Amino acid sequence: MAAWRVLARELEVYRRRTPRSAALREAARAVLPGGNNRSSIFLQPYPVYVTEGSGCRLTDLDGHTYMDFGNNYTAAILGHAHPAVVAALTAQARRGASFAAPTAAEVTLARLLCERVPGLEQVRFTNSGTEATLMACRAARAFTGKSAIAKFEGGYHGSHEHAEVSVAPTLDRAGPPDAPAAVPSNPAIPEGVVRDVLVLPYNNAEASIRLIQANRDRLAAVIVEPVLGAAGMIPAKPEFLRTLRSVTQECGILLIFDEVISFRVAPGGAQGLTGIRPDLTTLGKIIGGGLPVGAFGGRADIMALFDPSGGSPRVAHAGTFNGNPMTLEAGAATLRELTPAVYEGLGALGHRLRLGAQKALEEAGLTGCVTGVESLFSLHFAPPPVTDYRAAARGDREALQAAVVMLLNRGIMLVPKGSGCISTPMGEAEVDAFLAAFREVSSLLATG
């Protein structure tokens, strides 16, 4: 597969199609570093600038439309500008955007979440998933009196210090597969923080048990994504999650499920699907209806850390826009649309897409596989099975970049890492359009 040749050809097409995006990116360079404001959406040579989203379609500055399988990194589960969300936002905008006082919206959305997610007895709202995982780790340290956090290699929990360790380490620095090194993602992560992060191998129960038991005296929490998102939508084996539940319980360590992405898989998230109940849960993305959001919650005895009733709380958690009613009204409107039948429909379309894309790779004779679960999927040009970060990291990056650009040129948008998901405005026609484009992309990649 001569991916570079295909990529060069497709980049020429891309540049020809998107002169207005290219020009705006050039202008942006003067005021935004590299013209970029969000590392995860940068695409070489530049991303397309979006002017509008409606249902499952986006329009760019040059007037092209795309079927949006990127869905703002899984957040846009109802697609864009869903009438129920627009109505909720419009009504709240008329009543005022945010106040230094609580509103009924926070009680409503908290109830909706606690009813659905088995591990949520109580919850607090933040403005991002980053803040949610930061606060969950902080709660675990305060509750247990221990300072270290265990996370999985390739796991992404946002952009705070403890989270930015071994997110995407180069394999030459990653250490042994069954005892991964803690590799800071950038030079700003303090050595003390790196020492306080234990890195575990995903989907490897045996090694994880050994490492957790050996570090039981210093570990406050183990944080895990039930679907390893940023590494390429890699589902955890239920048995692996069950093992984490029992070993953390046995060692007096809290188990945090980061369900910022996996809350998409079922009304109660991955914990609803598997019946495994963590001590704390973090949420984000879909629960804000497209607005900035995060939430963390869990056992009431842990969440009591934040209770101010007796004077000041043991752990304070302020934030000018925490629980602002714009976000929470949009979130509640979204959750009300998400009935069990809707989740089933999303999952069936995800299944159709994964099967079809896998078949396209095989028919073209390409080395690759499609991971994911329910409405989530990710393309890998790596030998199957891809069950952890290292297997994904061994994939052909050039082929992946080529596939993403080729799909864009054919009116299909993924996120730059080659992941995507289904939104409710999509049906079989959209999935089949994706598959037709992907069959063409695969055969072009195979023939170079």
Ligand X SMILES: Cc1ncc(COP(=O)(O)O)c(C=O)c1O
- Which residues contact ligand X by CB under 6 A? 73, 128-130, 133, 156-158, 225, 229, 258, 260-261, 284, 294
Residue 294 CB, nearest approach to ligand X (Å):
6
How many helices and strands in the chain, by DSSP H and E?
A: 16, 16
Of 188, 159, 157, 155, which Cα lies nearest the Cα of 39? 159
Q: What angle do CA 41, 45, 48 make, to 5 degrees?
A: 55
Count CB-CB contacts under 10 A for residue 419: 26
Sign of the CA dihedral running 296, 301, 302, 304? positive
State which residue has the least CB distance to ligand X.
129
**DSSP 8-state symbol, 45:** S
Amino acid at 288: G
Amino acid at position 431, single letter: V
**Coil, strand, or helix at residue 24?**
helix
Q: Which helix (H) or strand (E) holds 284?
A: strand 280-284
Half-sphere exposure of residue 12, counting CA atoms within 13 Å on the CB side?
5
Say whether 71 sits in a helix, a strand or coil.
Answer: helix
Min CB(323)–ligand X separation in Å: 15
Answer positive or negative: Cα dihedral of 108, 113, 118, 121: negative
Residue 77 Cβ vs ligand X, minimum distance, rounded to whole Å? 14
Contact 327, 354 (CB under 8 A): no
What does the alpha-carbon distance between residue 136 and residue 258 come to, in Å, rounded to a whole number? 9
In the bound complex, what is the minimum distance in angstroms from residue 130's beta carbon to ligand X?
3
Nearer CB in complex with ligand X: 124/410: 124
Closer residue to ligand X, CB minimum distance, 317 or 410: 317
For 266, list phi and psi in degrees, rounded to 5.
-170, 160
Q: In angstroms, what is the minimal distance from the CB of 443 to ligand X? A: 32
Residue 276's alpha-carbon distances to 211, 218, 262, in angstroms, are 21, 24, 14
Q: Which listed residue (285, 343, 396, 417) is catalytic?
A: 285
Q: How far is the CB of 275 from ligand X (least distance, A)?
A: 21
Q: Is 157 helix (H, G, I), strand (E, B) or coil?
A: coil
- Contact status, residue 272 vs residue 384, Cβ threshold 8 Å: no
Residue closest to 343 by CA, chosen among 407, 421, 396: 421
Q: How far is the CB of 113 from ligand X (least distance, A)?
A: 16
* Strand-strand pairing, 254-258 and 280-284: parallel
Nearer to ligand X, 106 or 164 (CB): 164
Q: State the catalytic residue, choosing from 60, 258, 279, 388.
A: 258
Pick 157 or 317: Cβ nearer ligand X = 157
Nearer to ligand X (CB atom), residue 10 or residue 225: 225
DSSP per-residue codes, 206-241: HHHHHHHHHTTTTEEEEEE-SEE-TTT-EEPPHHHH
Question: Which one, 229 or 232, has the nearer CB to ligand X?
Answer: 229
Nearer to ligand X, 25 or 157 (CB): 157
User: Which structure tokens are listed for 329?
Assistant: 């009204």
Active site residue 172: no
- Closest CB 129 distance from ligand X, rounded Å: 2
Active site residue 258: yes
Q: Which of 156, 202, 343, 389 is catalytic?
A: 156
| Residue 1 or 379 with smaller CB distance to ligand X | 379
Please give the positions annotated as active site.
Answer: 156, 258, 285
